[in-house]
Amino acid sequence: MAAPAVLAEQLSKTFLVAEKDPGFAGTLRHFVRRRYRRIEAVRRVSFAIAPGEVVGFLGPNGAGKTTTLKMLTGLIQPTAGRARVLERDPYRREAALLRNLTLVMGNKQQLIWDLPVLDSLRVNAAVYEIPWAEAERRTAELAAMLEVEEVLRQPVRKLSLGQRMKAELLASLLHRPRVLFLDEPTLGLDVNAQLAVRRFLKAYRERYGATLLLTSHYMADIEALAERVIVIHEGRLLYDGWLRGLVERYAPFKEVRLELTAPVPAGAFERYGRVEEVQGSRVRLLVDKGALTGVVADLLGRFEVRDLTVDEPPLEEVIGRIFAEGAV
Ligand SMILES: Nc1ncnc2c1ncn2[C@@H]1O[C@H](COP(=O)(O)OP(=O)(O)OP(=O)(O)O)[C@@H](O)[C@H]1O
């Protein structure tokens, strides 16, 4: 088997945060005798990602995702354990590795605000020692894939959020990295821009056989791009496996959608499970898997049903429940 593109072995990070009581006395005490609190942001997390794999990295706020990504890209040093990317220690920040990885953070920007995108690209080309003719060729190719050709000469501050994120991606990929770490790459984007970014990442991965580890609050991103997910909660690994497996194993309910011949008050459905939505004659329920057959038979017998479908519940619902309960 080929060596993993990304490897975490018992990876851990503890932050020491100085604590200060409020007020002047607290400030004085803080100078004389500092108190520290330990935050175990990542605790003995292990996983391996094969070259070309796309993995969704999930966890509620504060779970330790960004901290893990920072360790894997060499921005911070692990307190314990080992990180390897393309068999190298990212914290050593060797040029041979840096040329092959990128970290895209949806809430940070690298493009220079007042200059045209092209100028920032020139800077990146120089940093990565890409001859400008080659950089121009790559820019044209990536800009076409991202459909942002027309904005490259505009100052970054004039771009819409969606255009800016696409330009950020272009800049982050100019050196054609083989391993991409993406932290909320679609954060705040409208639905069309989200879709475009997703499509682009898929195309980039197919064209260059890249490996992707990505976090997103939008489950549509994860569903569209990743078959495998790694879930962390309070710094610990909770699940590593197929996305569908997560749903099958941890969603004890199915989604039942009904279309009735006439509207019925929501209260009539409460006995069957959780009523998610009632809109006129359309009803959406979450029904316990064990009770499903009985519930469906009852619904069909009791109401005038035009259409009834049973599906897996939306991923958002399942993940939300797992995070809320820390239940994997
Ligand atoms: N530099 C730091 N110093 C102290 N504590 C930190 C630091 N960076 C992160 N933390 C803490 O570590 C924990 C994990 O944070 P992290 O940003 O990795 O979570 P996350 O899963 O990325 O969350 P989010 O989705 O909200 O970004 C949190 O409790 C956070 O407050």
Q: Is residue 99 part of a domain?
A: yes
Q: Which amino acid appears at position 99 of this protein? A: R
Residues 188 and 130 in one domain: yes
pTM, two decimals, is 0.86
Nearest CA to ligand 1 atom 5: 15
> Which one, of 147, 117, 112, lies nearest residue 135 by Cα?
117
**If you take atom 13 of ligand 1, which residue's CA is the nearest one?**
41
- Asked whether residue 263 carries a pLDDT value surpassing 80, the answer given is yes
Number of structural domains in the chain:
2
- Determine the Cα angle at 186 with ends 185 and 191, to 5°: 160
* CATH at residue 297: 3.30.70
Is residue 62 domain-shared with residue 135, that is, in the same domain?
Answer: yes
Question: Are both 258 and 276 inside the same structural domain?
Answer: yes
pLDDT band (50, 70, 90) for residue 185: very high
199 found inside a domain: yes
Q: Domain of 196: which CATH number?
A: 3.40.50.300
Give residue 32's pLDDT. Answer: 77
Ligand 1 in reach of 187 Cβ (< 6 A): no
Confidence of residue 326 (pLDDT cuts 50, 70, 90): low
What digits encode the pLDDT tens for the residues 303-322? 999 999 998 888 887 888 77
**pLDDT for the residue numbered 313:** 83
Q: Is residue 316 part of a domain?
A: no
Per-residue pLDDT reduced to its tens digit, 5-36: 999 999 999 999 988 778 887 777 777 778 88
Dump pLDDT digits (tens) for 102-130. 999 998 989 999 999 999 999 999 999 99
* 170, 286: one domain: no
**Going by CA atoms, what residue is nearest to atom 25 of ligand 1?**
61
* Residue 23 pLDDT: 84
Tokens, residue 134: 């080659």
Q: Is residue 319 part of a domain?
A: no
- The length of the chain, given as a count of residues: 328
Instruction: Reply yes or no on whether the pLDDT at 226 is more than 70.
Output: yes
Atom of ligand 1 nearest to the CA of 17: 4
Distance 275 CA to ligand 1 centre (A): 35
pLDDT in tens, 26-72: 777 777 778 889 999 999 999 999 999 999 999 988 999 999 999 99
Q: Domain boundary at 229, 247, 265, which?
A: 247
Ligand 1 closest atom vs CA 70? 18
Nearest to 90 by CA among 105, 104, 78, 108: 78
pLDDT at 327 over 80: no
Domain that holds residue 272: 252-311
Q: Which residue's alpha carbon is at the smallest distance from atom 7 of ligand 1? A: 15
Residue percentage of the chain with pLDDT more than 90: 78
